[in-house]
Amino acid sequence: MPPSGDLASQGEALALLLDGVHDDAVVAHLGEPDCGIAILIRPVEGERQVTGAGACVCETRWVVHVVVRLDCPIEDAQAVVYGLMSACGDGSILRRLKPNQKTPTPLGSLDAAVHKVEAPVGFGLIQYKTDGPPNAYTAQVQCTVRYDCC
C-alpha cells in the first residue's frame, strides 16, 4: 500500500471517488481529457502538519475543477456545472467527496480521508486549451485530505 501522504495516490483515490458522478464526464488526476466534460483533480497545497489535531496528523488541499466546453448553448454548460457543484443529488461532487458532514470520507485503501469540502467558487467563462475567446464554463471546489504522517 502506498503511503497516505503520497500526492499521486491521493489524486488517484479522489478520482476513483468521483468516477461516474456524471455520465459524460472524464475524471483526471493526471493529464487532462481531450473532449467532453473534464473534472480535473490537482493538489493546491502539499503536506503540512495540522496544529491542534494531535501529534502526527497531516493534511493536503486539493481542487476539483469542472470544465464544460461551449460546444452547446452556454445555458446547457451552466446547468451541467451547477448540477455537479450542487450540494445534493447523485450527480453532486460535493456529496461524493463528503456525503456525511460529520464523518470523514475514506479514500479507498489509503489511510486518509476527506475531512472538509469548501463551497464551490470561480463560476464563469474561461479559455480552455486555446488562445482565442472563452470557450468553456467552469467552477471549482477545494477539499482537505487528512492522514497520519508519522
The verdict on residue 35 lying in a domain is yes
Looking at residue 94, its pLDDT comes to 94
In a domain, 137, yes or no: yes
CATH number, domain with residue 140: 3.30.2000
pTM of the model: 0.88
45 confidence band (pLDDT: 50, 70, 90): very high
Q: In the predicted model, what is the mean pLDDT of residues 64-74?
A: 88
Residues 31-58, mean pLDDT to the nearest whole number: 84
* Number of domains, the chain: 1
- Checking if the pLDDT of 118 tops 80, the result is yes
Quick check: is 2 in a domain?
no
Judge whether residue 1 has pLDDT over 60. Answer: no
Report yes or no on 1 lying in a domain: no
Residue 128 lies in a domain: yes
Residue 107: inside a domain: yes
Grid cell 458532514 is found at: 101
- The domain of 86 spans 7-148
Q: Is residue 63 part of a domain?
A: yes
- Detail the DSSP E strand segments found in the chain: 25-28, 37-49, 57-69, 105-106, 112-117, 121-126, 136-148
CB atoms within 10 A of CB 46: 11
pLDDT (average), residues 7-13: 90
The verdict on residue 19 lying in a domain is yes
